[in-house]
Structure 1
Amino acid sequence: MRTIMVVEDEPAISRVLAAYIKKAGYECAVFTQGELAVEQLTTVQPALILLDVMLPGLDGWEVLREVRNRSTCPVIMLTAKGEIGDRLLGLNSGADDYIIKPFEPVEVIARIQAILRRPSHALITDHQKQYGSLRIDFKSRSVSLNGETLSLTPKDLALLLFLAEHPNQIFHREQLIERVWGIDYDGSDRAVDHAIKRLRQSLHPMPPEDGGIRTLRGTGYQFYANGAD
């Protein structure tokens, strides 16, 4: 079940939001301080963040910057400020939407659902791809999950890069051996199975709705990603 993180220091507002979020079928994690929300970002792994601007200590803009340094999680800003400059600041700083207080909780839920219906895959540059919380840089041959670089063996990394370059395509063991291990490889094709198992363990924190590696019995393996071409 997807988790919505609410970062709001007004108890009355956070209680109402939490009730509507749970009624809509999501988990809800409420934080009253921006610092704690940032610290718990990797642990909670929210599908979306509702972020108040006027927070004690680390304010909403600072929290947004920290979130964007670590994650591509969608963020909806909540604030009493309605000036166009504030809305533009939020959107230009990486927010996905902006809701002005006071608001109707049903509208907030509708905005959440609209954003979460968007494809999770986004092409960042010619050599980078983002699959939810997973970022892959094909030029530097690096992979990060929730902002943290994954430590993979050279072959495991090569396998993941190959599969991610061809999202939603199915490859059987022989094809993967030829494309990743090389045509001169004379070991067992079970090496593919072992590498897939290790990759799944490394990608375990990745929410299933963002993507992952799928086994199609009798057919092969696939890196599936919602919204990928």
Structure 2
Amino acid sequence: MNNNILIVDDDTELTDLLVQYLEPEGFHVVCVHDGESAVKKALNQAFDAIILDVMLPKLNGFEVLKAIREHLQTPVLMLTARGDDIDRIVGLEIGADDYLPKPCNPRELVARLRAILRRTQKIPTQRPIIEHQGILVDCSKRLATHNNEPMDLTNAEFNILEMLIKSPGQAFSKEELTEYALGRKYTAYDRSIDVHISNLRNKLGDNQAGEPLVKTVRGFGYMFNA
């Protein structure tokens, strides 16, 4: 079964190129070229993932992402200008699953898409339900609650929480977390995991001792505070 992909970019030459590359790879691709059309299309048609440019007419990519996240947790891969760290961080904070700088290599884009889809389309067979410090994670249904209240987590945030809460008190490196949560290798100066962790911390809050539930292990990575 082909994965349905929505591409949102006002560069029609680029979208045509991506369609030519993605469809032979087994993707069914729909393209729109402005932010308003992107929101309408995303909310009215089912997609397995969305490729979203930041610079768009009518609504920019951040506004589109905010509108989508109010209703859907469809994985979003954002395209940002090369070297524009602010755009990348803002996109991740709003709820993007990953980013790719433009101009991008189509082969890398396919690899990123497949990585995101692998993380979100796992077959839920006999995966555990984990409970710790008021947080319950149902790994099969990919649902989490905090003090019995549903948590609104992005796919990346859920993956990070799942990995950490399975082994409270065990430190995981940024390399391990990036590979597990995002399905790709960690690279130097990549702040994706740090931003996802920051978002997750804000949603989890502190434990009864007033300490963050996700603890920084300086110079290494992060752990779930046991």
User: TM (normalized to structure 1)?
Assistant: 0.53
The Cα shift of 1:126 comes to 4.0
CA contact (8 A) 1:120 1:131 kept: no
Cα drift, residue 129 of structure 1: 6.2
Aligned partners of 1:60, 1:79: CA distance in 2, in Å? 10
Name the aligned partner's letter for residue 74 of structure 2. Answer: C
Match of 2:38 in 1: 37
1:33/1:94 CA distance change after superposition, 3 Å: same
**RMSD over aligned Cα, in angstroms?**
3.0
Q: Within 1, Cα distance between the matches of 2:39 and 2:137? A: 25
- Please tell me whether Structure 1 or Structure 2 has the larger radius of gyration of its CA atoms: 1
The alignment status of 1:14 with 2:18, answered yes or no, reads: no
Partner of 1:76: 77
Q: Hey, what does 1:162 align to over in structure 2?
A: none
For 2:29, what is the secondary structure of its paired residue? strand
Contact 2:135 2:145 in 1 (8 A): no
Does 2:95 match 1:94?
Answer: yes
- The verdict on how the C-alpha distance between 1:69 and 1:131 changes in structure 2, with shifts beyond 3 A counting, is farther
Equivalent position of 1:213 in the other structure:
none
| 8 A contact 2:80–2:88 mirrored in 1 | no
Q: Which residue of 1 aligns with 2:224?
A: none
- Aligned residue for 2:60? 59
What are the Cα deviations for residues 29-55 of structure 1, in whole angstroms up to 9, with x where unaligned?
Answer: 100011111112233211000001000
Q: Which residue of 1 aligns with 2:174?
A: none
CA distance in 1, matches of 2:140, 2:22: 24
Distance change in 2, residues 1:69/1:126 (3 Å) = same
Give yes or no for contact 1:52–1:60 (8 Å, CA) kept in 2.
yes
Amino acid at match of 1:22: E
Q: Using the TM superposition, give the Cα deviation of residue 83 of structure 1 relative to its aligned residue in structure 2, in angstroms.
A: 2.5
- Please state whether the residue corresponding to 2:119 is helix, strand or coil: coil
Task: Give 1:135 deviation, angstroms.
Answer: 7.2
Q: Give 1:83-162 correspondences, 5 Å limit.
A: 83-120=84-121, 126=135
8 Å CA contact retained: 2:135, 2:144: no
- Structure 1 counterpart of 2:48: 47
How many residue pairs match? The answer is 139
How much does 1:127 deviate?
6.3
Cα distance 1:67–1:2, how it changes in 2: closer, same or farther (>3 A)?
Answer: same
Query: For residues 78 and 45 of structure 1, do their structure 2 counterparts lie closer, same or farther at Cα, with a shift above 3 Å needed?
Result: same
How far apart, in 1, do the equivalents of 2:46 and 2:92 lie? 22
Kindly indicate whether the alpha-carbon contact (under 8 Å) linking 1:3 and 1:44 is maintained by their aligned counterparts in 2.
no
Identity %: 36
Conserved 8 A contact 2:8-2:34: yes
Q: Scaled by the length of structure 2, what TM-score is found? A: 0.54
Q: 1:105 to 1:128 in 2, by over 3 A?
A: same
**Mapped contact 2:10–2:32 kept (Cα < 8 A):** yes
- Structure 1's unaligned 5+ residue stretches are 142-229
Amino acid at match of 1:87: R
Letter in 1 for 2:58: G
1:34/1:59 contact within 8 Å kept: yes
Closer, same or farther in 2 for the Cα pair 1:55/1:130, shift >3 Å?
A: farther
Q: Which runs of 4+ in 1 moved over 6 A?
A: 127-132, 134-138
Q: Tell me how far 1:18 sits from its aligned partner.
A: 1.1
Between the aligned partners of 2:138 and 2:64, the Cα distance in structure 1 is 24
- In structure 2, the CA distance between the partners of 1:119 and 1:33, relative to structure 1 (3 Å rule), is closer
